[in-house]
Structures are given as structure tokens and as C-alpha cells.
Amino acid sequence: MTDDASPWLVVGLGNPGPEYAANRHNVGFMVADLLAERIGGKFKAHKARAQVVEGRMGPPGPANRRVVLAKPMSYMNLSGGPVTALRDFYKVPVDRIVAIHDELDIDYGTLRLKLGGGDNGHNGLKSMTKSMGPDYHRVRFGIGRPPGRQPVADFVLKDFSSAERKELDYLVDRAADAVECLIADGLERAQGTYNS
């Protein structure tokens, strides 16, 4: 059974640096930034090669939880190292880790929450699973498949299109709500509300 004193570790996946900031692959960072804003914190460098914010999330009372928000600064395909170091530093059980990431196999703007599973070719998840097994939560933010024959790597490392950007703030906001719901009310409730 999970110790109630241990915090949740919410990890936004992305690549560090301004040239990647608005890429599809960085939607995890976008959601983490919004969550940090909501809990009134600023990201600070951590020795685990990540930026972190510590705070509380959820309504006052028993559903209010300690959280550590993190953005690994290692590049996407090496995310497992910083996440594992943070897990050990904060003594977080794997079932209290949430990865927020872009997902090619879901239409743009669709959210899906789940516990465990494969990496579906996502290098950030691949690295995390290799480091600590697959039994962490995922908040999957649909970005859809690349048009025509555009290579996947080019697609995920491009900024959202102008049409997509019209809805992006709303969708990032909804993904942040889904993370809060997952932590306060549990996976089933969050899936029932946000899985589309």
C-alpha cells in the first residue's frame, strides 16, 4: 500500500531549450508549466538534472496532496535518468508517478489517462520504463499522426500549426485539470471525466 506521506511526482516530458519550447513533443512541459503556475511555484534547478517545483495540489482537506512537478533537462530520450533520481530523492512509489506526454496515435487534443502499458515508440516513455518499469501513470495528450509522408521525428519536433494553436491553451488547461483530478480523485474518476 502506498504511504500517504509520500508525494506525487508529476513529470512533464519535453526537450530543454528555447528552440524546442513550442514543439508538439514539448506539450508535457507546457502542462507542467501551467500546473506550476496554479500551485504558485517557480521551477528551480535540482541536482537530478531536472527543474522542480514542490507544492500542494487539490482541494483543502484529505484530497490535498504533496506534489513535486518536474521537467527533466536531459532531452526526451534520456528522461528516465532524471525521473529515477527524483523518485529516489523524494521516495516516491512508482504508482505515484505521472508522465505527461505527447501521443501520436490519438487525434489532436484528445486526452487519455492510464496506468502502465507500453511506450508506443515514445522515446521519453521508453527511457522511463527502462529505468523503473512500466507501472506509472500516463496523461497522453493526442497530437495526431504526421500528414502525408512527413517523418515522425520532424513532426514531433515542429511547433503546433496555427490552427492547432487556436485550441492549444484550452487543451493544455484541460490536461492540467486531468492531472489534478487523477491526483485528488484517482484514476477511474479522472478517466471517466477526461478520456475522450
Active site residue ranges:
25
Residue 69: DSSP 8-state: E
Q: Report d(CA 122, CA 134) in Å as an integer.
A: 13
Contacts of 127 (CB under 8 A, 6+ apart): 76, 77, 78, 79, 80, 81
Q: Give the Cα separation of 167 and 196 in Å (integer).
A: 16
Closest CA to 11 of 82, 66, 75: 82
Strand 50-57 to 97-103 pairing: unpaired
Rounded distance between C-alpha atoms, residue 142 and residue 93, angstroms: 27
User: Using CA atoms, how far apart are residues 50 and 82, in angstroms rounded to an integer?
Assistant: 6
CA distance 134 to 137: 9
